[in-house]
Amino acid sequence: MKNLGIYGLLSLGFLGLCHVALAQVPANCPNVCDQKYALCIAASCDPKTGKCGQCDKTDGSCGNCYVFEGKSCSYNTACSQLKPSGKTLYSTYSERLSTDFGFKVLTCSSSKTSTDCMDGNCMLTGKTVTLTNNKGVKVNVPTAICQCKVIQGGGATEGGQCNTANCSATWSVAGSVLGSMPHCQ
């Protein structure tokens, strides 16, 4: 231990940073779930019905609810009440789109409506979309359609591909949880 030196300390610090970089659930999460979930923070939504995740374009004007397996956060509901079953699953939050796929936060504060998808009921579509991860590898990611709550006003989303012209769409948004994620320039 005495001979650890500066390089040893730097190595330990680097390992600590790697652990933080791999975290996919915010530290203040009250309900950490470990199961299949829909991630809708980049999803476009119907402003009348609140259905989110129907997207057939790649220009950033619409977005999907992506389906992942692993840890996610519910801010409102115990994980035991959000268990996936058959084609049904629930929308919870993780940092996966940002940490694994490089999505950035777009703020659409002038939008008239947005949606809150936390704990929304979702149905698997049976389709996948191709995302490129941070290592340049293409990954087929399943999608879902989720029922979200329509709210007045805009907010922060990981949809829109950093193009403010795409703020004309209705996006699933989140509050301060996106504050630590990389933002569009």
- Give tens-digit pLDDT for 97-116: 999 999 999 999 989 999 99
- Give tens-digit pLDDT for 14-57: 333 333 344 589 988 999 999 999 999 999 999 999 999 999 88
> Is residue 154 a contact partner of residue 108, using CB atoms and an 8 Å limit?
yes
pTM of the model: 0.86
CA distance 39 to 146: 10
Which whole number is the average pLDDT over 160-169? 95
Cα dihedral sign, 134-138-144-149: positive
CA distance 184 to 163: 9
